[in-house]
Amino acid sequence: MNNDVKAGSICVSQVSKRLGRRSVLEGLNFTAESGQIIGILGPNGAGKTTFLRLLSTLMRADKGTIEMAGYQLPNEAAFVRRAVGFASHAPLLYTGLSAEENLRFYTRLYDLSDSDHLIQNILELVGLSGKRHDQVRTFSRGMQQRLALGRAILHHPKILLLDEPFNGLDLDACERFAGFIKRTTAEGMTVLLASHQLSGIELLADRFDILIDGHITRSCSKNEIKSYGLEEIYRENLKTVKAQSSRRLI
């Protein structure tokens, strides 16, 4: 049963997932507490997107257990969807609709009250109030990404999952995004940022988990990266994992 302590918590135990013949995640363990901002770092193909899709209920794990906000997957998936916001690396917006119409569709999907006020607040938060009636097809990549992020928090989720949130964003858009995340986490929202780009993640996260070949191979705190540097830790971890894999093949 859900409670305030577990409102934004995540607990993943021994989770495995195969896609066809390929093992994407293998015996993965992961925990997060309410209010944490955690960077999930790894090269392309490491399993980051699959991991977030499992947490967002878009996929089911083959083995292991997942608890989100105090609810168990897959049996309580409907409750999890209410507690989780998810934005993928592709905005997945209705480009023929306006910014306001895109958000209004989701207020109806979630049966949210006072939708006019809610939509206005979200558009102001993501800096698009002046574009509310413009069709999304006219938006830049950064503007579309901001609208997708706004859509993801429309229902006030306890957990926010973001897959490659900096993809296609210029420096100004990245700075806007950082401010956006800091404002939305002020009330205890848990945020997972999955990316292969270290720079943006380094500014935001207070913990960094490195995911390689379906395993979390290293977890480090903000203090650790201040001492050693995130890029150096990441590169050394990649080298170590590759060396270990090579020895197993001999």
pLDDT tens digit string along 196-219? 888 778 878 989 999 998 999 999
Enumerate domains of the chain plus CATH numbers.
Answer: 10-91+157-249 (3.40.50.300)
| Per-residue model confidence (pLDDT) at position 168 | 67
pLDDT of residue 228: 83
What pLDDT does 5 receive? Answer: 55
pLDDT at 2: 44
Whether the Cβ atoms of residue 69 and residue 78 lie closer than 8 Å to each other: no
Per-residue pLDDT of the chain (250 residues; tens, 9 = 90+): 445 557 889 999 999 999 999 999 999 999 999 989 999 999 988 999 999 999 999 999 999 999 999 999 999 999 999 999 999 888 889 999 999 999 999 999 999 988 999 999 999 888 899 999 999 999 998 889 889 989 999 999 999 999 988 776 777 767 777 777 777 777 789 999 999 888 778 878 989 999 998 999 999 998 888 888 888 998 999 888 877 766 655 4
Whole-number pLDDT of residue 16: 97
Residues facing residue 66 across a β-bridge: 12, 73
Q: What is the pTM of this model?
A: 0.90
- Give pLDDT, residue 31: 96
- C-alpha to C-alpha distance for 52 and 84, rounded to whole angstroms: 11
The 10 Å Cβ neighbour count of residue 230 is 21
User: What Cα–Cα distance (Å) separates residue 249 from each residue in 28, 226, 239, 245?
Assistant: 22, 35, 16, 6
The predicted pLDDT at position 179 comes to: 78
Angle CA(109)–CA(182)–CA(85) in degrees, nearest 5? 20
68 vs 158: CA distance, rounded Å: 9
- E strand or H helix that includes residue 144: helix 141-152
